[in-house]
C-alpha cells in the first residue's frame, strides 16, 4: 500500500531557474494539499486541489507559483524564476475525502535549495 510519493527529494536550482515538484497521492485519494516549511518554522498551507480543480490557493504567493492536479498523473507545484527565499521543504499531503476531519497523509517532502 504505497503512501504519498514526492520527487525529487532534493532539488537544487540557481536563481532565475524553474522548479517543478511532483506529488503522487495515496492510491484512490483525489484531494491534495501542498504545504511549505521554511527553516525553523512550522508548515504553512499553500494550496488545496481536487482532480482538475484548484479549490483554495490562498496560501500561494501571487506571482511565480502555480499548482495543478490533472485527471491523470501527479500533482505538480511549479515555481518560476526561483529566488533564495524559495529555499524550503515542500510537503504534499493527500486525503480520501478532503473533509475537515480527514487524516492527511504526508509525503517525505522535496527540499529545494536555491543558490
Partner 1 sequence: AQSVTQLDSQVPVFEEAPVELRCNYSSSVSVYLFWYVQYPNQGLQLLLKYLSGSTLVKGINGFEAEFNKSQTSFHLRKPSVHISDTAEYFCAVSDGGTSYGKLTFGQGTILTVHP
Note the residues at the interface with partner 1 (CB under 8 A). 4, 6, 31, 33, 35, 41-45, 48, 55-56, 91, 93, 95, 98-109
How far the first Cα of the chain sits from its last, in Å, is: 37
Q: Is the peptide bond before 79 cis (omega within 30 degrees of 0)?
A: no
CB of 16 to partner 1, least distance (A): 28
Closer to partner 1 by Cβ: residue 57 or 68: 57
Take residue 84 and report the three cell numbers written for it. 533564495
CB of 103 to partner 1, least distance (A): 5
Integer-rounded Cα radius of gyration of the chain? 13
CB of 15 to partner 1, least distance (A): 25
Closer to partner 1 by Cβ: residue 9 or 15: 9
CB 7 within 8 A of CB 92: no
Closer to partner 1 by Cβ: residue 7 or 17: 7
CB of 112 to partner 1, least distance (A): 14
Take residue 33 and report the three cell numbers written for it. 494539499
Closer to partner 1 by Cβ: residue 20 or 45: 45
Residues 6+ apart with CB under 8 A from 57: 46, 47, 48, 67
Amino acid at each position: 500500500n504505497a503512501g504519498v510519493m514526492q520527487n525529487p527529494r532534493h532539488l537544487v536550482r540557481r536563481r532565475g531557474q524553474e522548479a517543478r515538484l511532483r506529488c503522487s497521492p495515496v492510491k484512490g485519494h483525489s484531494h491534495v494539499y501542498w504545504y511549505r516549511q521554511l527553516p525553523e518554522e512550522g508548515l504553512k498551507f499553500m494550496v488545496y486541489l481536487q482532480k482538475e480543480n484548484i479549490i483554495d490557493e490562498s496560501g500561494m504567493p501571487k506571482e511565480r507559483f502555480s499548482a495543478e492536479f490533472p485527471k491523470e498523473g501527479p500533482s505538480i507545484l511549479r515555481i518560476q524564476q526561483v529566488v533564495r527565499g524559495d529555499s524550503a521543504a515542500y510537503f504534499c499531503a493527500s486525503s480520501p475525502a478532503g473533509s475537515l476531519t480527514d487524516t492527511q497523509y504526508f509525503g517525505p517532502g522535496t527540499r529545494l535549495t536555491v543558490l
